[in-house]
Amino acid sequence: METGTKVGHAAELMDTRFDAGIPPGPIDEKWERHRFDMKLVSPANRRRYTILVVGSGLAGSAAAASLGELGYNVKCFSYHDSPRRAHSIAAQGGINAAKNYRNDGDSVFRLFYDTVKGGDFRAREANVYRLAELSVNIIDQCVAQGVPFAREYGGLLDNRSFGGAQVSRTFYARGQTGQQLLLGAYQALERQVGLGTVTMHTRTEMLDLVVADGRARGIVTRNLVTGAIESHLGDAVVLATGGYANVFYLSTNAKASNATAIWRAHKRGAFFGNPCFTQIHPTCIPVSGDHQSKLTLMSESLRNDGRVWVPKKAGDARPPDQIPPDERDYYLERKYPTYGNLAPRDIASRAAKEVCDENRGVGPGGRGVYLDFTDAITRLGERAIRERYGNLFDMYERITGENAYRVPMRMYPAAHYVMGGLWVDYNLMSTIPGLFVGGEANFSDHGANRLGASALMQGLADGYFILPYTVADYIGRTQPDKVAADHPALRAVEEEVLERVTRLLDISGTRTVDSFHRELGRIMWDHCGMARNDAGLRRALEKIPELRAEFWENVRVLERNEEVNQSLEKAGRVADFLELGELICIDALHRTESCGGHFREESQTPDGEALRDDGHFIYVAAWEYTGSLARPNLHKEPLHFEHVRLVQRSYK
C-alpha cells in the first residue's frame, strides 16, 4: 500500500498505444456501419462464453439482462442484497431522449449538440452522437417493459424541459424516474435469472480484477455474509459499478457507492479518464450538523418554479419574510437574464458559493441560499405547486422540519456525480483487453459537465444497446480459450486480496473508518471542490498521502472476516478513496484551464466565468498507474470537433 508523500509530477506522453477506435464515415453512419463490421457469435456457441457483469444498477442490470437474452452465460455481482437497491434507484428528475414528441425543434443532432456544448467541449463527438441516436430506443424499450412514465390525458407520453434545455425532451415518472427505470431493468434481469441464463451473486463485493496473459479474465470477490474470498473466471468482464462522488464523503450518492472496482482495475492497468471532472449539484438540502451522513438532492426541476435569492446585505439575519423585495438579490436572474434560475448546474453552484463567500448566505452556518416558491404559489395556486412537487416538499419537510409552502427552501450545492471514470474506447473497452466499463463508472460522454437527465440515458444506452454488441464482438474476434482455474495470476490476486483484508483487521488503531472518510472529504471539498487553485491543490496533495499513511497505521476495524462486518467493508472502500483522491487532485492540478465542473480560479473571464484553454487542453487526460501513486503517467487522447463549433459557453 503506497503512502508516498511527494507532490504529483506527471510525465506526459503523446500516446499511440491507446486508440479510441472511432469508426470512419459520416457521424450519423458510424454506429450503423460499425455494427455491420462487428463479428457475430453464433447462437449455439454463446452459452460456452461466460461474461462477468459487476454492478446491477441501470447499466449493469441492462447489460446483464440483454446479454442473458442473447444466450451468453452471465454472472452478475452486486454488494447489495438485491439488484433493485442500486444507487440508480434514487434518480428523481428524468431521462432525456430526442423523440421530438413535442414538435419543438428537438432532434438527434440537437441533443448531440447540447450534450457536447453542455460538457464544455471535452467529450468525444462520435460517442455523444451515438448516445443521442440510441436515446429514442431507450424510451421504447422501457415503455415495453411497463415503466409507467408520466402521460397526458390523451394517453400519450408527457415531457418536460429540464436542466437548462430549451426543448422539452425529458421523460419522467413522477419524482421517481430512476426507481421506475431500475425496476424495469431489474425485472428484465430477474426474468433471466429465472430462465437460468444469468446467475445473480448478491451481497458479493468485487475486490480485485484478474488479468491473465494480458486480458481481463476474472474477478476476486468477498462474500459479505461469510467473508469468503472467491474467484470467478470469465471471457470478458464488464464493470458497471457507478460513480465515486463519495470521495467527498458528503454527497448525494447512496452511502455505499464507492470506487473500489474501478480503482482496483486502474491499478491492474486500466487508464483513468479525467478524474477531476466531478459535478456539484446546486440544489441540495444544506448540512445540519456534524452528524450529517449524506446530502439530499432536491430535484433540479424545482428551479422551473422556484426563484433563487439571498439578501443583498452581508450578514443580514432577518427571517426571509421580513426582507423586502428590493433588499433581495435574485442573483441568477440578475447575472444570467436568458437562463435565469435555470442556469446549468456548474454555473448555479458556483454562483451560490460566491454569494455565501460574501457572507450573504442564509440558514445555520451561512452556507445556504433561498429557493422561493412564493411567486409561483401566488401565480398558479398552492394546489398546482403541490401537484408538481408535492413529494419533494414532503421530503424537504421530513428532513428540515420546515414547510416550504410557507417559508422558502434553503439549498446549498453538494457533490453529486462524476464525469470522470475509467477510460474506454468507442466499444466501451478499457485499456485492458476484455475489460468493459459502462454507466457512471466510465469517463465517456459527458465531457467536463453532465446535463440533467443524461446519466440515466447514458447508463441505459451502454447497458441495453452498446455493450451487448461490443462485448459480443470482442468474444467473436478473440474467441478466448478457457483459463485454468489454477492459473498463477488468479492465485496471486486472491492472496493479495486476503492479505489486504487481514491487514485492515490487524491494524487495531484508534480512529474509526468514518473519521478518516470525513477528513478526506473535507480536504477534497475545500481544495478540489467547486473552485480549485494551484496552491490549494498542492496543499491537498500533501495532506492526502499523510492521511493515507495514518489510515494504514491507525484505523480501527473490529471483529473478524468471517461474518457481516460493515466496518471492514467501509475500510476497504475508504482505503481506495484515499488513493483516488490523490489522482483527482493531480489531474485537477495539471489542467490549468477551467471547463465545466472543473473551475480553476486562475482561469476565468473578467466577469468570473469559466475560461477554457482550447489551445492546450482539448484532450482527454487518461492516467496510467505506474506503481507510484504520486507519479502516474499522463496520456492524452486528442479531441476533434468537426460538427460543433467551439464557442465559449454563455448562458447570459
Partner 1 sequence: MMKLTLRVWRQKNATAPGRFVTYEAKNVSQDMSFLEMLDVLNEELIGRGEEPIAFEHDCREGICGSCGFMIDGLAHGPKRATTVCQLHMRSFRDGDSLTIEPWRARAFPVVKDLIVDRSAFDRIIQAGGFISAPTGSAPDANAILIPKEHADLAFDGAACIGCGACVAACPNAAAMLFTAAKVSHLGLLPQGQPERDDRVRKMVTVMDGEMFGSCTNIGECEAVCPKEIRLYFIARMNHDLIKAGIKVRKMSQQAARI
Ligand X SMILES: Cc1cc2nc3c(=O)[nH]c(=O)nc-3n(C[C@H](O)[C@H](O)[C@H](O)COP(=O)(O)OP(=O)(O)OC[C@H]3O[C@@H](n4cnc5c(N)ncnc54)[C@H](O)[C@@H]3O)c2cc1C
Q: Which is nearer to ligand X, 41 or 297 (CB)?
A: 297
According to the binding rule CB under 8 A, does residue 561 interact with partner 1? no
Tell me the backbone φ, ψ of residue 550, rounded to 5 degrees: -65, -40
Does residue 395 interact with partner 1 by CB under 8 A? yes
Q: How far is the CB of 384 from partner 1 (least distance, A)?
A: 17
d(CA 1, CA 227): 22
Residue 101 beta carbon to partner 1: minimum distance, rounded to whole angstroms: 6
Least gap, CB of 187 to partner 1 (angstroms): 4
Say if residues 449 and 279 touch (Cβ distance below 8 Å).
yes
- Known catalytic residue at 222: no
Q: Cell triple for residue 188?
A: 428484465
**Contacting residues toward ligand X, per CB under 6 A:** 54-60, 77-80, 86-88, 90-95, 177-178, 205-206, 240-243, 252-253, 257, 260-261, 297, 416-417, 439-441, 453-456, 459
Nearest approach, Cβ of residue 635 and partner 1 (Å):
34
The DSSP secondary-structure symbol of 334 reads H
Cα–Cα distance between 112 and 129 in angstroms, integer? 5
Angle between helices 566-590 and 534-554 (to 10 degrees): 160
Pick the closer one to partner 1 by CB: 22 or 143: 143
Nearest distance from residue 254's CB to partner 1, in Å?
A: 4
Q: Which does 235 bind (CB under 5 to 8 A by kind): partner 1, ligand X, none?
A: none
Pick from 35, 522, 556, 643: which binds partner 1 (CB under 8 A)? 556
376 Cβ contact partners less than 8 Å away, ≥ 6 residues apart: 305, 306, 307, 385
255 is a site residue for partner 1 (CB under 8 A): yes
User: Nearest Cα to 622, choosing from 275, 278, 260?
Assistant: 275
| Residue 491, binding choice from ligand X, partner 1, none, Cβ under 5 to 8 Å by partner class | none
User: Restricting to residues 483-512, which ones interact with partner 1 according to CB under 8 A?
Assistant: 512
Q: Report the residue from 333, 514, 613, 614 that binds partner 1 according to the rule CB under 8 A.
A: 514
Cα dihedral 364/255/282/384 (nearest 10): -90
Listed ranges 125-133, 544-552, 555-563, 584-592: which one lies at the site for partner 1 (CB under 8 A): 555-563
Cβ pair 267, 82 in contact under 8 A = no
Residue selected from 61, 179, 279, 430 as contacting partner 1 according to rule CB under 8 A? 179
Q: Which residues make beta-bridge pairs with 523?
A: none
Is residue 392 near partner 1 by the rule CB under 8 A? no
CB of 131 to partner 1, least distance (A): 16
C-alpha cell recorded at residue 513? 473508518
* Residue 260 or 341 having the CB closest to ligand X: 260
**Residue number, 128 or 182, with CB nearest to partner 1:** 182
- The C-alpha atoms of residue 584 and residue 420 are separated, in whole angstroms, by 9
CA distances from 389 to 163, 394, 438, 451, 559 (A): 16, 9, 32, 21, 45
Is 548 exposed, middle or buried (CB count within 10 Å of its CB: 0-12, 13-18, 19+)? buried
Angle at 632 between CA 628 and CA 638, to 5 degrees: 170
Q: Which is nearer to ligand X, 519 or 569 (CB)?
A: 569
For residue 591, what is its C-alpha cell?
489542467
Q: Is 143 in the site for partner 1 (CB under 8 A)?
A: yes
577 near partner 1 (CB under 8 A): no
Least spacing, CB of residue 328 vs ligand X, in Å: 29
User: Which set of grid coordinates corresponds to residue 471?
Assistant: 462485448
Residue 520 exposure: Cα atoms within 13 Å on the Cβ side: 32
Written as nine digits, the cell of 497 is: 486480496
- Residue 459 interacting partner from partner 1, ligand X, none (CB closer than 5 to 8 Å by kind): ligand X
**Minimum CB distance to partner 1, residue 287 (Å):** 10
Cell 432577518 belongs to residue: 318
Q: Does 453 bind partner 1 (CB under 8 A)?
A: no
Among 84, 110, 169, 345, the active-site one is 345
How many residues line the site for partner 1 (CB under 8 A)? Answer: 80
Between residues 179 and 603, which has the closer beta carbon with respect to ligand X? 179
Site track for partner 1 across 180-219, x = CB under 8 A: x--x--xxx-xx-xx-----x-x-----------------
**If DSSP codes are grouped into helix, strand and coil, which group holds residue 455?**
helix
Under rule CB under 8 A, residue 137 binds partner 1: yes
156 lies in the binding site for partner 1 (CB under 8 A): yes
Residue 486: CB minimum distance to partner 1, A:
31
Question: Does 151 sit near partner 1 (CB under 8 A)?
Answer: yes
Span of 4-12, 26-34, 233-241, 463-471 interacting with partner 1 by CB under 8 A:
463-471
Residue 342's binding partner out of partner 1, ligand X, none, with CB under 5 to 8 Å set by partner kind = none
Piece in contact with partner 1 (CB under 8 A), picked from 134-142, 478-486, 499-507, 586-594: 134-142
Q: Using CB atoms within 10 Å of the CB of residue 195, give its burial: 0 to 12 exposed, 13 to 18 middle, 19+ buried.
A: exposed
Region class of 467: left (phi > 0), else alpha (psi between -120 and 50), else beta:
alpha
CA atoms within 13 Å, Cβ hemisphere of 427: 26
Judged by CB under 8 A, does residue 225 bind partner 1?
yes
Joined together, the cell numbers standing for residue 587 give 489531474
Phi-psi group of 426: left, alpha or beta (phi > 0 → left; psi -120 to 50 → alpha; rest → beta) = alpha
Residue 444 binds: one of partner 1, ligand X, none (C-beta under 5 to 8 A by kind)? none
Give the nearer residue to ligand X in terms of CB position, either 85 or 360: 85
Quickly list H helices, 479-629. 488-506, 513-528, 534-554, 566-590, 614-617
Binding-site member from 479, 502, 566, 628 for partner 1 (CB under 8 A): 566
Question: Is the four-CA dihedral 136, 142, 143, 144 of positive or negative sign?
Answer: positive
CB 460, min distance to ligand X, A: 9
Task: List binders of partner 1 among 36-95 (CB under 8 A).
Answer: 62, 65-66, 69, 80-87, 89-90
**Total residues belonging to the chain:** 652
Residue type for position 532: R
Positive or negative CA dihedral for 186, 187, 190, 192?
Answer: negative
Which position among 11, 485, 564, 646 is part of the footprint of partner 1 (CB under 8 A)? 564
Q: Which CB atom, from 86 or from 165, has the smaller least distance to ligand X?
A: 86
Q: List, by residue number, the catalytic residues.
A: 345
